[in-house]
Amino acid sequence: MPVTYHEVIYEPGPVARVIMNRPEYRNAQSRLLLEEIDAAFQEAVDDPEVLVIVLSGHGPDFSAGHDLGSPPELADREIRGWDEDFVGVYDRQRDTRITNTMRWRNVPKPTIAMVHGKCIFGGWMVAASMDLIFASADALFLPSHTQYFSAPWDLGVRKAKEILFQNRFIPAQEAKELGFVNQVYPADVLERKTLEYAREVAERSPMALRQIKHSINNMQDGQGFTTHINASFMTYAVGARFGQPDPRMVKGKRQLSPVAQALAKLKPWPRPRQD
């Protein structure tokens, strides 16, 4: 049965497009958006005409990360329910942040994240699960340090520590130099260059592409990638359940969230234009 999408635009074809479509919320990841990304990837996997999948975001940013309470998200929670007990929260977050993301990592077709603007926390998780990342020159990446914790693999151990300790955005060119981003292009040619590459890859044998991807992912898993992701999520879950503020850090003042701290180091984040 065809899927009706509300927060994703899906365009089939040899190079299928999965476009996050919540521009008014900078593609913050609602429960519905994550479900529709998953459905779109499955549709692409099931379609023999699809050879490569390109994931992108509509609007000013690739993704602002988790949706922590937009009106549509809150309405959805009211309608469908939202477990507040620890087990319910654990199961929901494991499903949406680990099971989904690992499934996208292991899609048996090449995947490319086409990133522009800001790519924050949950956005990093989704982009990191793709095989390749092509970015605009003005893209900024804020690595996630919880849930799907791939940053040590994405950046290298020492660089991951340095950047996460500092809690800062990584400009696209630096992300390329660190090996997280494959190619950086001016914003006005990013889409053209990404699709040109995707079409070139789509000319190759689907079986050869599948074998290459499977072999490289297997190599990474042999080094402990999946075990690390699962263990890191458990560490996050325990910390979220039992963690308490450090009085030496708080000092009686309300601290900014990690995202707000990183944003405070940048120039003011412009509001979307209202045409």
Q: Tally the domains of the chain.
A: 1
Q: Is residue 271 part of a domain?
A: no
Q: Is residue 2 part of a domain?
A: no
Question: What range does the domain containing 252 cover?
Answer: 8-264
pLDDT attached to residue 260: 82
Dist. CA 193–CA 268, nearest whole Å: 29
CB atoms under 10 Å from CB of 124, counted, come to 26
Q: What SS3 class is residue 251?
A: coil
pLDDT attached to residue 147: 85
Q: Is residue 82 part of a domain?
A: yes
Q: At what angle do helices 225-242 and 86-93 cross, to 10 degrees?
A: 150
pLDDT attached to residue 80: 80
% of the chain beyond a pLDDT of 70: 90
Residue 196 scores a pLDDT above 70: yes
Q: Which two tokens mark 257?
A: 């969230």
pLDDT attached to residue 274: 46
Which residue is listed with tokens 């992701």?
A: 229
Q: Which two tokens mark 4?
A: 């009706």
% of the chain beyond a pLDDT of 90: 69
In the chain, which ranges are E strands? 8-11, 15-20, 52-57, 111-115, 118-120, 132-136, 140-142, 170-171, 183-185
Instruction: Grade residue 1 by pLDDT with cuts at 50, 70 and 90.
Output: low
Mean pLDDT of the chain: 90
pLDDT attached to residue 227: 94
pLDDT higher at 7 or 258: 7
pLDDT attached to residue 92: 78
Average pLDDT value for residue range 49-77: 93
Q: At what angle do helices 206-222 and 225-242 cross, to 10 degrees?
A: 60
Q: Is residue 211 part of a domain?
A: yes
Question: Exposed, middle or buried, 8 (CB in 10 Å: 0-12/13-18/19+)?
Answer: buried
Dist. CA 143–CA 163, nearest whole Å: 8
pLDDT, tens digit, for every residue of 211-227? 999 999 999 999 999 99
Would strands 140-142 and 118-120 be described as parallel, antiparallel, or unpaired?
parallel
CB 29 within 8 A of CB 122: yes
CB 76 within 8 A of CB 35: no
Please name which of 69, 74, 64, 82 lies closest in space to residue 22, comparing C-alpha atoms.
64
- CATH number, domain containing residue 225: 3.90.226.10
pLDDT attached to residue 246: 53
Q: Is residue 270 part of a domain?
A: no
pLDDT, tens digit, for every residue of 134-145? 999 999 999 988
Q: Is residue 274 part of a domain?
A: no
Q: Is residue 273 part of a domain?
A: no
Sign of CA dihedral 112, 117, 121, 122: negative
Q: What SS3 class is residue 109?
A: coil
pLDDT, tens digit, for every residue of 157-177? 999 999 999 999 999 999 999
